Amino acid sequence: MRGCGSNLFDHIADCLANFLEKMGIKDKKLPLGFTFSFPCQQTKLDESVLVTWTKGFKASGGGGQGCGQPAEEGHQEERGL
């Protein structure tokens, strides 16, 4: 998979929004866990920085950047999340 790293997080947010809509739970506040299975350096208990893309992913951006923040910023308001 190739492209911009932010596109990956946008896709994840779109899939999550679609699932919540389909299940009729879009307006509920639910706990959510986030697993990012790429090599990262943990900087704090709840923060890490992507070291490099692996598993066939070649995304511009992301390397040396925090992993959770792009997921949180995945245009939540546009998706009603």
- Which residues are CB-contacts of 52 (< 8 A; sequence separation ≥ 6)? 38, 39, 63
pLDDT, block means (10 residues), the chain with 81 residues: 74 89 91 83 84 80 57 55 56
Domains of the chain with bracketed CATH: 2-79 (3.30.420.40)
DSSP secondary-structure letter at 76? Answer: H
Distance separating alpha carbons of residues 81 and 75, to the nearest angstrom: 8
User: Per the structure block, which two tokens stand in for 31?
Assistant: 């706990």
